[in-house]
Amino acid sequence: MTLTKPRDVQVMSIATDTTILRSRSWNRLRFEIEYALERGTTANSFVIQAEKTALIDPPGETFTQIFIDRLQKRFPIEQIDYVILGHVNPNRVETLKALLAINDRIIFICTNPGSIGLRSALTDHPDLNIRAVRGEEVLNLGKDHNLQFIPTSTPRYPDGLCTYDTKTQIVYTDKLFGAHICGDQVFDEGSSSLLEDRRYYFDCLMANQTRQVENSIDKISSLPTSFYAPGHGPLLRYGLHELVNLYHQWSEVQKQQNVSVALIYASAYGNTAVMANAIARGITKAGVAVESINCESADPEEIKIAVEKCAGFMIGSPTLGGHLPTQVQTALGIVLSTAPKSNLAGVFGSFGWSGEAVDIIAEKLQDSGYTMGFEPIKIKFTPTDETLQFCEETGTDFAQVLRESKRVRTSLSSASTVEQAMGRVVGSLSVVTARKGDVSTAMLASWVAQATFNPPGVTVAVAKERALESFVHIGDRFVLNILEQGKQLRKHFMKKFAPGEDRFIDVATEDTSNGVPALTEALAYLECRVEQRMEAGDHWIIYAIVENGKVIQPNGLTAVHHRKSGSYY
């Protein structure tokens, strides 16, 4: 029986008059639904107690009760003057209500888009005291704690706000530079060990809005800084400059892609936005850039520019009273008048009761002559892990079609001598199987090699756009199924699977000790745990420790893969 640690709140002084309250969960939380590493998280809140007291970024409802109890013991809520919100998330509403129940004199500080969301969420408090900031205001808490506010709007967080304390020189970055990982570590000592988590966080939350992210970084990078205090994960002191540079490098990779998708959406309750983020993750994995546009806050000219330069577009919409939201109607009009008919199109959305909006958009696009890249995706209420995996795979397939349409394929006769020579590298044919929660996947692999004797280890090359890529991060487990020569099992896994399609239909499997299915018709299999990942061009090189294994056909021979060119599998 696996025992899990209870949620708690870790409290620590981090600077003069400044305390962090880290609400911790070692389990994956619901708001991380599009985030697959499942290493838990910390929701970082901060209290600056000078002549006046400010609370920065209270956590979501998962932690409401334990946070309020711990806060009240250390800092009486009746004495809190300000609550500063790096963004207004519906998930935080219950905590805000709990604070107001004790102290209804609190002044909330957020951006103007945040104030609109806050009033909408707290309708039971018509006298809510909100101070909307635009970037020029300074809040004096006394004892030289002057707080400067820096709006950092992005499509995903249009109400984004960073806060800078001139006395401690801390920048409270909210969603920027975070990582979903739980532990006792408050600061980023040994920051290199956190890079995979920070990169994955960037890929999931930032890669589809790099232009706005870089603008936000530029706004805070000139400030004299002791450390960055993000809303999730360890505080950034030792690896600060390295991570800022990496954010720029990762953003530059996205900007240099010569194919892009305009991902335009609105989201009434956040569900369509979660779908959009999963689709965007799939697109960027395939080496195609994404311009995410939240049409609830975007200027029409911004939509027009993105559509003019894209090779394909997608529109996501909720359904309100059987209709499209006004902002989506406006965006659709811009798309219809701007996007070339050669552009590939897609439609998706979440709904509560009827879901007509997705059908209305799809019909208008088809009537106008656009080719749909996939069947419209409609999801009722909150997306599940399975539906988000489906969305991610759909995004990858959509991107691959666009990428292939732009690529000039080299025929074998004109292949370079290097490609011909590379094709002579022979690899054994295997199928990698993996499982996370209720979602299982598999891929045919031929770039596999033994890497170490002690401990026994293997390397597997996984293309960045493969669905399985999300299942082989450090600490994940998979099974390497070595195929037998002359058997037909490989043909099943050679075909192209549709998004969400079950890879194991009509294939005999058995669960191994690590919980991952093994193919019983394979020659042998190895149960593996990912130890390291190395980014290498268009692939990830996965190094894994072999924890267990079994030979199923002792007299069989290993299937090998012969190629004539090194430019394809």
Tens of pLDDT, residues 161-207: 999 999 999 999 999 999 998 999 999 988 777 888 899 899 888 98
Write down the pLDDT at residue 174. 95
230's enclosing H/E stretch is: strand 227-230
| pLDDT above 70 as % of the chain | 95
Q: Evaluate if residue 80 carries a pLDDT over 80.
A: yes
pTM higher than 0.85? no
Write down the pLDDT at residue 413. 45
Chain-centre distance for alpha carbon 456: 32
CB 101 within 8 A of CB 124: no
- As to burial, measured by CB atoms within 10 angstroms (0-12 exposed, 13-18 middle, 19+ buried), residue 101 is exposed
Write down the pLDDT at residue 495. 85
263's enclosing H/E stretch is: strand 260-265
In the three-class reduction of DSSP (H, G, I as helix; E, B as strand; rest coil), residue 323 is classed as strand
Q: Which value, in Å, is the radius of gyration of the alpha carbons in the chain?
A: 25
CB 266 within 8 A of CB 330: no
Query: Which of 383, 324, 327 minimizes the C-alpha distance to 357?
Result: 324
Give the integer Cα–Cα distance in Å for 27 and 31: 12
Q: pLDDT-based confidence at 4, cuts 50/70/90? A: low
Write down the pLDDT at residue 420. 73
Amino acid at 155: P
DSSP label of 484: B
CB atoms within 10 A of CB 551: 12
| Bridge partners, 449 (sequence order) | 459
Q: Evaluate if residue 142 carries a pLDDT over 90.
A: yes
Give the integer Cα–Cα distance in Å for 239 and 540: 23
In the three-class reduction of DSSP (H, G, I as helix; E, B as strand; rest coil), residue 404 is classed as helix
CB 21 within 8 A of CB 14: no
Write down the pLDDT at residue 190. 80
141 versus 414: the higher-pLDDT residue is 141
DSSP string, 333-400: HHHHHHS-TTSEEEEEEEESS--HHHHHHHHHHHHTTPEESSPPEEEESS--HHHHHHHHHHHHHHHH
Q: pLDDT-based confidence at 421, cuts 50/70/90? A: confident
CB 395 within 8 A of CB 280: yes
Report H helices in 161-227. 195-205, 210-221
- Fold observed for domain 414-561: Pnp Oxidase; Chain A (2.30.110)
Write down the pLDDT at residue 415. 54
Write down the pLDDT at residue 412. 41
Q: Evaluate if residue 47 carries a pLDDT over 80.
A: yes
Give the integer Cα–Cα distance in Å for 260 and 283: 9
DSSP string, 407-429: --PPPGGG--HHHHHHTT--EE-
| Measured torsion, CA atoms of residues 504, 506, 507, 510, in degrees rounded to the nearest 10 | 80
Give the integer Cα–Cα distance in Å for 348 and 377: 4
Instruction: Give the tens place of pLDDT for each residue, 447-496.
Output: 999 999 999 999 999 999 898 998 999 999 999 999 998 877 888 998 88
In the three-class reduction of DSSP (H, G, I as helix; E, B as strand; rest coil), residue 70 is classed as helix
* pLDDT, mean of residues 69-94: 94
Point out the least confidently predicted range of 5-9, 138-142, 410-414, 501-505: 410-414
Give the integer Cα–Cα distance in Å for 289 and 12: 40
Tokens of 324: 């499209």
Task: Calculate the average pLDDT of the chain.
Answer: 90
Write down the pLDDT at residue 226. 96
CA 464 to each of CA 405, 469, 537, 540: distance values in angstroms, whole numbers, following the listed order = 19, 6, 9, 6
Amino acid at 477: R
Instruction: Give the tens place of pLDDT for each residue, 297-333.
Output: 889 999 999 999 999 999 999 998 888 999 999 999 9
Find tokens 């890529």 and name the residue.
Answer: 469
| pLDDT above 90 as % of the chain | 67
Buried residues in 109-144 as b, exposed as e (16+ CB within 10 A): bbbebbbbbbeebbeebeebebebbeeeeebebeee
Q: Evaluate if residue 426 carries a pLDDT over 80.
A: no
Looking at the structure, give the CATH architecture of the domain made up of residues 257-406: 3-Layer(aba) Sandwich (3.40)
Write down the pLDDT at residue 256. 84
376 phi-psi bin (left φ>0, alpha ψ -120 to 50, beta other): beta
In the three-class reduction of DSSP (H, G, I as helix; E, B as strand; rest coil), residue 447 is classed as coil
* pLDDT, mean of residues 528-533: 94
Q: pLDDT-based confidence at 549, cuts 50/70/90? A: very high
- Fold observed for domain 8-253: Metallo-beta-lactamase; Chain A (3.60.15)
Sign of the C-alpha dihedral, residues 12, 15, 18, 22?
negative
| Bridge partners, 293 (sequence order) | 264
Give the integer Cα–Cα distance in Å for 362 and 399: 19
Q: Evaluate if residue 49 carries a pLDDT over 60.
A: yes
Give the integer Cα–Cα distance in Å for 297 and 357: 19
CB 257 within 8 A of CB 286: no
Instruction: Give the tens place of pLDDT for each residue, 282-296.
Output: 999 888 999 999 998
Any idea where the domains of the chain sit in the sequence?
8-253, 257-406, 414-561
Write down the pLDDT at residue 409. 39
Measure the CA angle with vertex 525, ends 521 and 526; round to 5°: 165
Write down the pLDDT at residue 155. 87
